[in-house]
Structure 1
Amino acid sequence: MPGLTVGEPFPEGVAFTYVAPTGELDLTACGLPIQYDASKEFASKRVVVVAVPGAFTPTCQVSHVTSYISNLDKLKAAGVDQIIFIASNDQWVMAAWGKANGIKDDSILFMSDPGAAFSKSIGWVQGDRTKRYALIVDHGKVTYADVDEVRGSIEKSGAEAVLAKL
């Protein structure tokens, strides 16, 4: 199965785009997009990357993102510096999704994987969308990588699964 292998370095040249949280929850206010060099940023952090098929979609909203929001304190206590949600949606949709979920700071960032480029590079896509998966990247090294193959499941990519691997 394609993907990332535990123990290997996070790939070079991976970039996402996002709109930084402002603290305002006004969904109509947009910021300017920021390029996020994931390869560089992940070298100095312990990060959980969560890929979802789409912002605001049923499983993604009802159970996936909420599992991370409700477990944020536990994830931070386990040494996670940042949680990053990615999808093929553009950065403004992803920013609105974060605001709709009450996220006011950078503890959870919602980013665009433009054209699902990163997800395609590891083979975890379904059509033009990312599959549902989670990664733990600890100072540039992949320490957990798994994908949910069952539609609607967050068994391998939800916060509880990630907490069990930290």
Structure 2
Amino acid sequence: MGSSPYDPKLKNACGIPQLLSTDSFKGKKVVIFGVPGAFTPTCNNNHLPEYHQKYQDLAKKGIDQVVCISTADAFVMDAWGKWTNVSDKVIMAADGNGDFVKATGLDQDLTKAGMGAVRSKRFAMVVDDMKVKYIGVESKPGVSVSGAGAVLAKL
């Protein structure tokens, strides 16, 4: 991990997308979880809400930041975060071109599902001072190894 062209973007208070540098994770323990699409049923109803609900439990286990990443643009991720009312508990990060997920091998082609050629796999990773300590990638629909409960069990 580190500052690179693969760093995701998020919106600042002025509504202008800004870089979320992975350099900001130095010295921190961070959970990054990836979803195939904002507002999609499993992502919206299960994956994101569980991280929001279990944020305090994650913080008690030493997690400094929780980041949700998707191959949507920064404006969509901002709107999704506002709509789900995750406030500052979950950073809503956009990987619009799929650079981060492609660089980490966490991309998938969902053309057959009508969602596009570059989408994020459903995953979660725990990054401790820039080192990946856990990664759970879903092999079938649903949230099991990438959910907040699975991450908590690994901390």
TM value normalised by structure 2: 0.89
Q: Which residue of structure 1 lines up, in the alignment, with residue 127 of structure 2?
A: 137
Equivalent residue for 1:126?
Answer: 108
Q: Does 1:93 align with 2:76?
A: yes
Between the aligned partners of 2:102 and 2:130, the Cα distance in structure 1 is 20
Paired with 1:59 and 1:45, the residues of 2 have a C-alpha distance of: 28
Q: Which runs of 5+ in 1 are unaligned?
A: 1-9, 23-29
CA distance in 1, matches of 2:46, 2:86: 16
CA distance in 2, matches of 1:61, 1:81: 23
2:90 is the counterpart of 1:108: yes
| Equivalent AA in structure 2 for residue 82 of structure 1 | Q
- Give 1:11 shift: 5.5
Counterpart AA for 2:149 = E
1:44, CA displacement in angstroms?
Answer: 2.2
Normalising by structure 1, report the TM-score. 0.83
1:79 CA drift (Å):
0.8
For 1:32, the equivalent position in structure 2 comes to: 16
**Cα deviation digits, residues 11-41 of structure 1 (max 9, x gap):** 5524110013x5xxxxxxx711111111x11
1:84-143: per-residue Cα shift (whole Å, max 9, x none)? 0000100010011111111222x3100111211111112221111000000100111111
Counterpart of 1:83 in 2: which secondary structure?
strand
Aligned-partner Cα distance in 1 for 2:51–2:69: 13
Alignment identity in percent?
Answer: 38
Distance (whole Å) between structure 2 residues aligned to residue 11 and residue 18 of structure 1:
17
Does 2:41 align with 1:67?
no
1:154 maps to 2:153: no
- The higher relative CO (CA closer than 8 Å, separation ≥ 6) is in 1
Q: Is the 8 A contact 2:3 2:21 kept in 1?
A: no
The answer for unaligned runs of 5 or more in structure 2 is 110-117
How many Å separate the matches in 2 of 1:32 and 1:118?
20
- Supply the AA of the counterpart residue of 2:32: V
Amino acid of the structure 2 residue aligned with 1:19: K
